[in-house]
Amino acid sequence: MTQVPQHASGAGDRRAAAPARKPGVSVAVRNYALVPVPRLSLDVVARRSGLHPDLVRRLVTLGLVDATRDAGGELWFEPTAPATLARIQRLRAGLPLNYASLGLVLDLLDRINELESALRRSNAGSRSDESWI
């Protein structure tokens, strides 16, 4: 077995040399969260969705939005809650239904979405040009 020698100049080393710093140049270092915020408070969700906190509480009671309670009884939401509330508001504006009835509509729309995704996955392996989606 023949070995290729490594050059002393570091040609085999994949690390790049650090660029030389110019005098008088300042570098600002900022820290950003690498993971999303795991939960949102009621006030944040209400503000982001443009709804009154009492209406958000009512939608939680109706089961339209998922929330958890901490030891102090405060509501905490997933980061997707404002988008869910916007979806509920769009459906409420477009359909002559009350909020309780929208739960059924949301469940049906989610089920349709799951079925369409499953159909797309099953058709992805076939070479059929008759896809209707």
Q: Is the dihedral of CA 66, 71, 74, 77 positive or negative?
A: negative
Inter-residue contact 103 to 63 (CB < 8 Å): yes
Widest Cα–Cα separation across the chain: 79
Q: What is the pLDDT along the chain (133 residues), one digit of tens a residue?
A: 555 555 545 454 555 555 565 566 666 777 666 665 589 999 999 999 999 999 999 999 999 999 999 999 999 999 999 999 999 999 999 999 998 899 999 999 999 999 999 999 988 766 555 555 5
Residue 72: DSSP 8-state: T
Looking at residue 125, its pLDDT comes to 66
Looking at residue 90, its pLDDT comes to 94
Looking at residue 37, its pLDDT comes to 58
Alpha carbon distance 70, 76 (integer Å): 7
Alpha carbon distance 80, 76 (integer Å): 12
- What is the pTM (predicted TM-score) of this model? 0.61
For the chain, strand residue ranges (E) read: 40-41, 67-69, 75-77
Pairing status of strand 67-69 against strand 75-77: antiparallel
Cα dist. 19→10, 12, 70 in Å? 16, 19, 50
